[in-house]
Amino acid sequence: MTNTLTRLLQTRDWLLADGATGTNLFNMGLESGEPPELWNVDHPDRIAKLYSLAVDAGSDLFLTNSFGGNASRLKLHNAQGRVRELNRTAAEIGRDVADKAGRPVAVCGSMGPTGDIFAPMGTLTHELAVEMFHEQAEGLKEGGADVLWVETISAPEEFAAAAEAAKLAGMDWCGTMSFDTAGRTMMGVTSAQLAALVEKLPNPPLAFGANCGVGAADLMRTVMGFVSSGTERPIIAKGNAGIPKYHDGHIHYDGTPALMGDYACLARDAGATIIGGCCGTMPEHLKAMHEALSTRERGPRPSLEDVTEKLGGFSSDTDGTGDDAGPTRERRGRRRG
């Protein structure tokens, strides 16, 4: 049997994903420093509420509250023995909300980075990463997730390890990286490199793309990079609701619902299929995005100028793709080439 997300992708030309998990949970009283995954067991009602906020705003899919649910992250709270349980419950609550939605809604099992750096510089090996992701994947599967959703990854090795874990668990998956450093991921991956990497995997994702990063404008440029790579695969755009600003002791994201509505349509016009938000994206943003996607006609593919005009400037001059691949250093080059 195919999963809900695959069926949705076959019948629709755009899908609305969800918004922020952390920002919403903090509003419900999550204490900073407390791992959100514990709430799957301690406050399942609040997690059900979190998922319902997205479904009620029109989301066709939502991510489970399991982003930091791998052994390496949970170890920081001495909860590394609860991986299976916390992921299973994250998906179970989601399954319940989705099944009551009255329309097809996909439950996507969120898997965030381990936070470790790969050998030789760090301690993480491919085998260890696969083992951790696999353990998490089995929990999400058991709880009834439709697909796995690997997100905010910056290292290609970690992306590949998560793919292998999905294969071991026999699950379809989607994967996004976070492009937050001069248009690349922290580890230097460009949009074009991710598009190429995805096709080399033995079990490529149903859809791939970008999440988080800097602001909506940067994320659009990354999406346009995927499109120019010629990929045939559905593209995911999950950008932050603008950039966090500090005012009088409080922090808020400067992206308005109206701006996120523009962003959603621009992303669709640029070629993205699964469109959602990330940090700072609240239900009112999702509603505006749903409204915009449902009511506005598709437009021509936007240019970079269209993006900056509607969403603001980019954080760097180039994103490392195309002919203008950015600055390089002339080397003495006397030692091996």
Q: Which is nearer to another protein, 59 or 72 (CB)?
A: 72
Nearest to 219 by CA among 297, 280, 299, 157: 280
What's CA 140's distance to the chain center, in Å? 17
Q: Which is nearer to another protein, 14 or 26 (CB)?
A: 26
Q: Which is nearer to another protein, 11 or 32 (CB)?
A: 32
CB of 116 to another protein, least distance (A): 8
CB of 71 to another protein, least distance (A): 14
> Given the structure tokens 């701006």, which residue do they identify?
259
Number of residues that make up the chain:
337
CA angle 91, 96, 97 (to 5 degrees): 95
CB of 246 to another protein, least distance (A): 4
Q: How far apart are CA 152 and CA 239, in angstroms?
A: 11
CB of 58 to another protein, least distance (A): 25
Angle between helix axes 304-311 and 216-228 (nearest 10 degrees) is: 160
How much is the CA Rg of the chain, to the nearest whole Å? 19
Q: Which is nearer to another protein, 80 or 316 (CB)?
A: 316
Q: How many CB atoms lie within 10 A of CB 3?
A: 17
Nearest to 160 by CA among 103, 118, 198: 198
CB of 315 to another protein, least distance (A): 10
Q: Which is nearer to another protein, 29 or 299 (CB)?
A: 29
Which residues form the interface with another protein (CB under 8 A)? Answer: 22-23, 26, 31-33, 35, 68, 73, 76-77, 115, 117, 120-122, 154-155, 180-184, 186-188, 244, 246, 249-251, 253, 279-280, 316, 318, 320, 326-329, 331-337
Are 4 and 104 contacting, i.e. CB atoms less than 8 angstroms apart?
Answer: yes
CB of 42 to another protein, least distance (A): 17
CB of 241 to another protein, least distance (A): 11
CB of 158 to another protein, least distance (A): 12
Q: How far apart are CA 90 and CA 44, in angstroms?
A: 8
Q: How many CB atoms lie within 10 A of CB 302?
A: 21
Q: Which is nearer to another protein, 184 or 287 (CB)?
A: 184
The structure tokens listed for 318 are: 């180039």
Q: Which is nearer to another protein, 115 or 204 (CB)?
A: 115
* Amino acid residing at 64: T
Q: Which is nearer to another protein, 8 or 30 (CB)?
A: 30
Are 280 and 250 contacting, i.e. CB atoms less than 8 angstroms apart?
Answer: no
The structure tokens listed for 311 are: 């969403």
